[in-house]
Amino acid sequence: MTIHIGAQPGEIAETVLMPGDPYRAKWAAETFLEDAVLVNEVRGMLGFTGTWRGNRVTIQGSGMGMPSLSIYANELIRDYGAKTLIRIGSTGAMQEHVKLRDVVIAMTSSTVATPSSTIFREFNYAPCADFGLLRAAVEAAAKRGVVTHVGGIYSSDTFYDERPDLNAEMTRHGILCVEMEAAELYTLAARFGVRALAVLTVSDHLITKEELPSDQRERSFGDMVEIALEAAFS
C-alpha cells in the first residue's frame, strides 16, 4: 500500500480507468465490471478491481485537478505497476459543433501550468496521448455509432476561471473542450513509459451555456466507459 492507496500488492490491475469522482468509479465498476471488489477507500477516494470480458481492470478515482490526479497516477504506476491509464470524465465544450453528450478523445492537452511545470521550467512540453490507444478508441466509438471528436483539449488548473480572453483564443485555435486532469496524466505517462488516454463526455457547453442535468450525466457516460475499455484491450 502507499500513502494514498490502500490496495495490497496484486490488487491493482495493469489497466486502470481514472474518473475524477470516486462515486463515478463506484458506478462504473458496478455497471461494467464483473466481480468488482473495493481495493481502496483511503480518504474516500474509491478504487475497485474486477474483470471486463475476462480482462482485469481497476477503476480508481483521481479527485479534481492535476495535483490530485498526479498523486494517484504516480502511485499507480510506480508502486502498483499500472501500464495503461485512461481518464474517463466530463468536459465542457469550447466549439459550436461539439454538442452535449458527444464524446471527445484527446489527442493533445494544452495547459497554463501543471505539477510538472517545475521540472520543465521555461520549456513548453506538449503532452499527447498514446497513439495506439487513441486509434483503438476512435475505432470503438465508430463501431458504437457515437458522435466523437478527436483533437486538442485544454486542461485547466482552475475551475472558476475568469479569463474569457484566454478561452476565446483557445476556441479560435480549435481547442475542443476544457477539463482539469489530462495534461498531467499524459506527461506522467511519457515520463514513466506507459500508455495514457483521455476519453471525455461533454456535460456542459461554455458557448451555449447548456448543461446536462445531474440525473442524466451517468446515463450519458456509458458510451465513454465502453469506448475506454474496448480501446484498452484492442
Residues tagged active-site: 204
Give the span between the Cα atoms of 28 and 222, in whole angstroms. Answer: 8
Binding residue per annotation — 20? yes
CB 103 within 8 A of CB 137: no
Binding residue per annotation — 179? yes
Binding residue per annotation — 203? yes
Say which residues have a Cβ less than 8 Å from residue 168's Cβ, sequence separation at least 6: none
Binding residue per annotation — 204? yes
Q: Quick one: CA dihedral 150, 211, 29, 186, positive or negative? A: positive
Binding residue per annotation — 4? yes
CB 111 within 8 A of CB 157: yes
Binding residue per annotation — 89? yes
Binding residue per annotation — 220? no
Binding residue per annotation — 181? yes
Give the span between the Cα atoms of 62 and 17, in whole angstroms. Answer: 9
Task: Please give the full DSSP string across 22-72, using - where no structure is assigned.
Answer: HHHHHHHHHHH-EEEEEEE-GGG--EEEEEETTEEEEEE---SSHHHHHHH
E-state strands within the chain: 15-18, 34-40, 47-52, 55-60, 84-93, 103-111, 148-155, 177-179, 195-205
Binding residue per annotation — 24? yes
Residues making up the binding site for phosphate: 20, 24, 43, 87-90
**Binding residue numbers:** 4, 20, 24, 43, 87-90, 179-181, 203-204
Annotated binding site for a purine D-ribonucleoside: 4, 179-181, 203-204
